[in-house]
């Protein structure tokens, strides 16, 4: 069963506007949530993370929000740039189980157009 879900396979946003990518999870034992970014023919690269005890983490143009009661997180990119066009994967990690094992969603293809 899929424990991390990204229900939007694609998102198209104009340059300069905000991109909001969503992710839902089912397992309340997750300790960390991460976003990875993937360009074609490359591996995923880490973008930003948030601990389950926080509700927000910000890094430059990227902010991740966590709503534990709703088991929902989102990634905000402001302002969006054409170079942000990539597949974004939401992932989660459980400490206490296999160290570093990540549970991924299916990804959301973000396209930022000029």
Partner 1 sequence: EAGVTQFPSHSVIEKGQTVTLRCDPISGHDNLYWYRRVMGKEIKFLLHFVKESKQDESGMPNNRFLAERTGGTYSTLKVQPAELEDSGVYFCASSRPDRGQAFTEAFFGQGTRLTVV
Distance CA 107, CA 58 (A): 21
Binders of partner 1 among residues 8 to 27 (CB under 8 A) are 9
Query: Would strands 32-38 and 56-59 be described as parallel, antiparallel, or unpaired?
Result: unpaired
Of 27 and 45, CB closest to partner 1: 45
Helix (H, G, I), strand (E, B) or coil at 84: helix
- 102 is a contact residue toward partner 1 (CB under 8 A): yes
Quote the DSSP letter at residue 3: S
Q: Rule CB under 8 A: choose which of 60, 96, 98, 114 binds partner 1.
A: 98
Nearest distance, CB of residue 100 and partner 1, angstroms: 5
Helix (H, G, I), strand (E, B) or coil at 8: coil
Binding segment for partner 1 (CB under 8 A), chosen from 18-26, 59-67, 75-83, 101-109, is 101-109
Of 45 and 67, CB closest to partner 1: 45
Nearest residue to 75 (alpha-carbon basis) of 66, 63, 83: 63
**Terminal Cα-to-Cα distance of the chain (whole angstroms):** 38
Which residues are at the interface with partner 1 (CB under 8 A)?
2, 4, 9, 32, 36, 41-46, 49, 51, 89, 91, 93, 98-107
């Amino acid at each position: 069963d899929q424990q991390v879900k990204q229900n939007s396979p694609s998102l198209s946003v104009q340059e300069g506007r905000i991109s909001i990518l969503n992710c839902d999870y089912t397992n309340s034992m997750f300790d960390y949530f991460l976003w990875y970014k993937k360009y074609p023919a490359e591996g995923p690269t880490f973008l930003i993370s948030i601990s389950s005890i926080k509700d927000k983490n910000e890094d430059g143009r990227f902010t991740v929000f966590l709503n534990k009661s709703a088991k929902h997180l989102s990634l905000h990119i402001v302002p969006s740039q054409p170079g942000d066009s990539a597949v974004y994967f939401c992932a989660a990690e459980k400490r206490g189980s296999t160290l570093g094992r990540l549970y991924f969603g299916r990804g959301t293809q973000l396209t930022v157009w000029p």
